[in-house]
Amino acid sequence: MTRLAPDVPARAMARSPLVVRRALSAGETWVFAALIILMAIFTGLAPGKFLTLNNLSLNAQTAAPFLLMAVGETFVILTAGIDLSVGFVLVLCGVVAGEFYLSNGGPDAGVGTIWLGAILGLLTGAAFGALQGFAVAKLKIPPLIATLMGLGVAEGLSYLITGGSDVRAVPNTLVSSIGTGYFAGVQWVIIISFLVTLVFGLILAYTRFGRYTYAIGSNPEAALRAGVNVDWHLIKVYSLSGLMAGVAGIVNLAYFGTTTISAHPLDNLTVITAVVIGGASLFGGRGSMLGTFIGVFIPVLLLSGLNIVGVNQYWQYILTGLVLGAAVYLDQIRRRLRERA
């Protein structure tokens, strides 16, 4: 803590091998290590059951909607915001598409109708997210409250539209293609979620949109003074999160062949945990899509592992909650250490 020459520690740090330093300080390395340890534990507890191609593929399918929502959530959290509404917007978008299919041929709907319904669902998500972004950016409602409000609205709308019972009239073509179909030996669900993650990972890392997302989360005042349209960017980011929940909603609809209205109350817990475990800071400005990608599999594999080992699956929520707490605590420590440096 000598105030005499603050340049010295920085210079000393710069001398240690750059690659090693970067790898160790990168959040992704640690998350990946945690994931490997988790897999090793369950493989040890249930040899020949957990670490099988079949189970891993099943987990990747389970992870798909979470991964899609986590992509949007990553952008939101990087701006130092939060989106609690994701699972409920997922349901709303599925309901909008489902109702459209119901009144346009139901199970026998053609490809054109399927596309139209899907686009309707995605637009619903994007518009819903944009409204939440407007509440955050323009009305200055804290993200926690704005998206809690949105959560309630999405939930209410879903029940109002459907009258409380799931829409099951999902087009057969949708279910047999996106839902359960394969492309080159891999489920469409997995391909879509991985591809979307890759594309938005690249956008986050290599475009102005991504750079401004980090800048706003890091210091909104600096971004504003640098000429970044902070409000508009926030609206876009929340809209993206809604859009991703919409994509997840369509995938979910195709996968289960029903709107699963009541099955997503804790998706936000899983998604936010995944993003935070992945190294994103709730204070904004720090995190990566690779981290999120790895992070998503921790709660998902936890659930699968507990199931296989025969532990009541509700332990998953308790453990996920605790993991979220631990991840945020570690982030606090990291920040404090960095500020001292």
Contacts to another protein by CB under 8 A: 3-7, 9-11, 13-14, 18, 206-208, 211, 214-215, 217-219, 221-228, 284-286, 338-339, 341
Q: Which two tokens stand for residue 31?
A: 């998350």
Residue 139 Cα distances to 131, 145, 165, 235, angstroms: 10, 12, 35, 11
The SS3 assignment for 187 reads strand
35, 101, 184, 302 from 166: Cα distances, Å: 35, 13, 32, 28
Q: How far is the CB of 202 from another protein (least distance, A)?
A: 8
Q: Report the nearest approach of another protein to the CB of residue 226 (Å).
A: 3
Which residue number, 9 or 325, has a Cβ lying nearer to another protein?
9
Beta bridge partners of 186: 183
Q: Which is nearer to another protein, 121 or 284 (CB)?
A: 284
* Helix ranges, the chain (H): 7-15, 18-25, 27-45, 53-78, 86-102, 111-137, 143-162, 172-174, 188-206, 208-218, 220-225, 230-256, 267-277, 289-309, 315-340
Least gap, CB of 132 to another protein (angstroms): 24
Closest to another protein by CB, 165 or 229: 229
Q: DSSP code of 9?
A: H
Residue 294 one-letter amino acid:
I
What's the min distance (Å) between Cβ of 241 and another protein? Answer: 20
Shortest Å, Cβ 222 to another protein: 4
Q: CB of residue 333 vs another protein: minimum separation in angstroms?
A: 15
Which lies closer to another protein via its Cβ, residue 76 or residue 114? Answer: 76
Task: Give 168 or 208: the residue with its C-beta nearer to another protein.
Answer: 208
Nearer to another protein, 228 or 263 (CB): 228
Locate 242 and state its tokens: 């809604």
Minimum separation from the CB atom of position 17 to another protein (A):
13
Q: Closer CB to another protein, residue 25 or residue 165?
A: 25
Helices 230-256 & 208-218 angle (0-180, nearest 10): 110
SS3 state of residue 341: coil
